[in-house]
Amino acid sequence: MAVAARKGRATTSPLASSPMAITTAARPGFLGSWLGRIPLPKWVLIAVAAAAAVLLLLFLVCIIRCCCCKKKPKKKERVSLHAVSSSTTASLVQPEMDDLEQGTEQIGRGKLQYSLEYNFREQELKVGVKQAAELKAMDSGGTSDPYVIVYLTSDTKKKYETKVYRKTLNPIFNESFTFLVSQAEVPESTLVMQIYDFNRFAKHDIIGEVRLPLASVNLQHVIEQWSDLVAASKVEEEQLGEICFSLRYVPSTGKLMVLILEATKLKRMDSHGLSDPFVKVHLILNRKKWKKKMTSVKKNTLSPYFNEMFVFEVPFSQIQNVDVVISVWDHDKVTKNEPIGKLFLGCRATGNQLRHWSDMLSNPRRPLAQWHSLQPPDVVDKALGLKSHLKLPLPPR
């Protein structure tokens, strides 16, 4: 009995008294322990897991389909131009016109032989138009009626023309023309020789041109050479010149000071290749002419120096409504004075003119000088849109 009792105690006591053994036998897995902490029924957790699995499966299917769709067009791609704008479509389908001209049309325009001789004592440039060869046929019969126009970019008004030669692609001109060009203006000038096809009943077609910057030519010797004709460039803007002036405004006294300093590279207005320039300064108030002052006349020059100051009384309350018009004129004793170019400054101006005006207002009592390019007078007048030419009285302060 005692032995049996001892055996029974020996076999049963570890199971009843050892908590470590109970824990080891009844411990679930890590996932089960983690799920046991969530206060939701098991069917809810199973439903969430199934939904997540379905979403993951759909996501994988979408990725596989996208990859397959991208690989298929490699065999035969189709480009739809309906969704592209017309301008973009045109650039995709056809090249630019400039590229066409430089590519196919430029080849076979022909070439021109000419000569250059500069007389440093007389400051004259003698241009000889010798002959042309292998010109492009412009007429239906396979020929052309060529003639040459010669001019300098520094004076586009003065142009010379050769005689017209009928039905030939190899004309011999042998004509010469003389231009008055000072040594200072030679590096800034470009010689242009354009060959046209004459047409009696329609516009003359240009075959090609030769542009020769005189700065790249050694005029110490007589030059005679051939040059290939190229496609004519677009109509160039006429250079009217530049002017430098200073602006200063003092708000406390209401004084606007305009200092006309100098001008350069002015357009030639006289027959001898020079001008007699002077400057007008107009004040425009509410788009009506208000006050005007002018400089003295500088004779026979394209780069006059003035250094003349004009003072206008403009109350601070009116400074936002004022435009300052700077115009350069060519003086003529016999005929009417001709405008060379204009520009205007004010709150309605743009570009450098507006920047100069804004700098003046933001720096009171400080003179600010700046160079400006002259613009065609009609362009400036249109931008100003003047209502009348009446002189207005000074507004009250």
Mean pLDDT (the chain, rounded): 79
Answer yes or no: is 296 within a domain: yes
Among 197, 229, 261, identify where a domain stops.
229
Does residue 26 belong to any structural domain of this protein? no
Last residue of a domain, one of 229, 262, 284: 229
Section 344-358 average pLDDT: 87
Query: Are 265 and 355 within one domain?
Result: yes
Are residues 248 and 205 part of one domain?
no
Is residue 148 domain-shared with residue 210, that is, in the same domain? yes
Looking at the fold, whether 380 and 253 belong to one and the same domain comes out as yes
Residue 283 confidence (pLDDT) = 92
Count up the domains in the chain and report the number.
2
Q: What is the pLDDT of residue 35?
A: 59
The answer to the question of residue 8 being in a domain is no
Q: What digits encode the pLDDT tens for the residues 79-138?
A: 333 333 333 333 333 444 444 444 444 457 899 999 999 999 998 999 999 999 999 988
Instruction: Note the pLDDT of residue 267.
Output: 87
* Cα 91 to Cα 81: distance, rounded to the nearest angstrom: 12
> Who has greater pLDDT, 329 or 77?
329
Looking at the structure, tell me whether residues 202 and 315 fall in a common domain: no
Q: Answer yes or no: is pLDDT of 25 > 50.
A: no
Euclidean distance between CA atoms 274 and 331, whole angstroms: 11
Q: Residue range 38-65: average pLDDT? A: 78
Q: What is the pLDDT of residues 149-177, one digit of tens each?
A: 999 988 777 888 899 899 999 999 999 99
Looking at the structure, tell me whether residues 207 and 314 fall in a common domain: no
| Backbone phi, psi, residue 384, to 5° | -70, -40
Whether residue 20 lies inside any domain: the answer is no
- With respect to residue 236, please indicate whether it lies within any of the assigned structural domains: no
Q: Is 100 inside a domain boundary?
A: no
The residue that leads in pLDDT, 353 or 171, is: 171
DSSP string, 271-282: TTS---EEEEEE
281, 364: one domain? yes
Q: What is the pLDDT of residues 253-265, one digit of tens each?
A: 999 999 999 999 8
pLDDT band at 37 (very low <50, low <70, confident <90, very high): low
d(CA 209, CA 111): 9
For the whole model, what pTM was predicted? Answer: 0.47
Look at 215 and 88; give whichever has higher pLDDT. 215
Domain that holds residue 118: 110-229
Rounded mean pLDDT, 174-199: 90
Q: 263 and 304 in contact (C-beta within 8 Å)?
A: yes
Q: How confident is the model at residue 30 (pLDDT cuts 50, 70, 90)?
A: low
**Amino acid letter, 58:** L
Are residues 279 and 369 located together in one domain of the fold? yes
* Residue 16 located in a structural domain: no
Would you state the pLDDT for residue 156?
A: 74
> Looking at the domain assignment, is residue 392 inside a domain?
no
In terms of domains, do 294 and 337 share one? yes
Is residue 149 domain-shared with residue 214, that is, in the same domain? Answer: yes
CATH code for the domain in which residue 267 is found: 2.60.40.150
Amino acid at residue number 381: D
Q: Which helix (H) or strand (E) holds 158?
A: strand 155-161
- End of a domain among 199, 229, 259? 229
Q: Which of 49-58, 117-126, 386-395 has the lowest mean pLDDT?
A: 386-395
Same domain, 222 and 248: no
Percent of the chain with pLDDT over 70: 74
Question: In the prediction, which pLDDT does 391 show?
Answer: 47
